[in-house]
């Protein structure tokens, strides 16, 4: 939705799809996989994967076979050089924390990153509004926190939670260190269940 807004100057309304405004958005890897499948009959068998972060000895970009162990890939990069490190599958913002590297590289895998572990405890929301300021979809994540506490799924729906793209900007900027994205995911599941 953000690319369509910036590149084509078209706004995708809440609850609508890019196709509704005459747009299709695909990443380069998907387009190449489609091309390979059509032109050569080759299914998706490998993925470009980045291994990076300050705690990786030899970071880089690699063409990796689907099914390769993430642990083997990290080991091929010289391993991780510290103990108290947060390892994410994906990027620094939208990546998912990993409790183990004994997982395979899959068709959606695009990276493994090491970052400093944030051991800060969540505090009550102080309604500073920073999450509202940074939300690219112009949502109000502080309400999602409130509604999650109350299990107010109608409130989630009213505030257009389904428009959230889970970029984690709100969670990153939150001075109270609230797990906003996990609350948003809970709200989305509840809203889907209401239909």
Structure token digits, residue 17: 């799809």
What is the bridge-based pairing of β-strands 96-97 and 111-116? unpaired
Structure token digits, residue 57: 């000895």
Res 91: pLDDT: 84
Q: What is the pLDDT of residues 2-18, one digit of tens each?
A: 889 889 999 888 888 89
Mean pLDDT to the nearest integer, 52-66: 94
Q: What is the pLDDT of residues 142-156, one digit of tens each?
A: 999 899 989 999 999
Res 119: pLDDT: 76
pTM over cut 0.75: no
pLDDT at 45 over 90: yes
Q: What is the pLDDT of residues 72-127, one digit of tens each?
A: 999 999 999 888 888 999 888 888 888 889 999 998 889 999 988 877 788 999 99
Alpha helices in the chain (DSSP H): 2-3, 28-40, 70-76, 130-134, 141-150, 153-158, 169-173, 180-194
What's the CA angle centered on 122, arms 103 and 70, to 5 degrees? 10
Calculate the CA 34 to chain-centre distance: 23
pLDDT at 195 over 70: no
Angle between helices 180-194 and 141-150 (to 10 degrees): 70
Instruction: Indicate the SS3 state at residue 62.
Output: strand
């Amino acid at each position: 939705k953000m690319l369509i807004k910036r590149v084509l100057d078209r706004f995708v309304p809440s609850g609508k799809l890019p196709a509704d405004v005459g747009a299709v958005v695909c990443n380069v890897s998907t387009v190449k996989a489609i091309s390979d499948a059509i032109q050569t009959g080759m299914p998706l068998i490998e993925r470009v994967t980045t291994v990076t972060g300050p705690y990786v000895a030899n970071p880089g970009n690699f063409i990796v076979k689907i099914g390769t162990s993430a642990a083997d890939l990290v080991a091929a990069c010289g391993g991780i050089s510290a103990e108290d490190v947060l390892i994410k599958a994906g990027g620094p913002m939208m990546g998912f924390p990993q409790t183990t590297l004994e997982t395979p590289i899959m068709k959606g895998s695009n990276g493994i990153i090491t970052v400093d572990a944030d051991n800060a405890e969540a505090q009550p929301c102080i309604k500073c509004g920073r999450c509202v300021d940074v939300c690219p979809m112009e949502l109000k994540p502080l309400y999602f926190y409130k509604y999650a506490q109350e299990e107010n799924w109608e409130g989630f729906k009213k505030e257009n939670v389904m428009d959230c793209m889970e970029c984690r900007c709100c969670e990153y900027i939150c001075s109270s260190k609230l797990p906003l994205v996990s609350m948003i995911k809970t709200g989305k599941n509840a809203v889907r269940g209401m239909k």
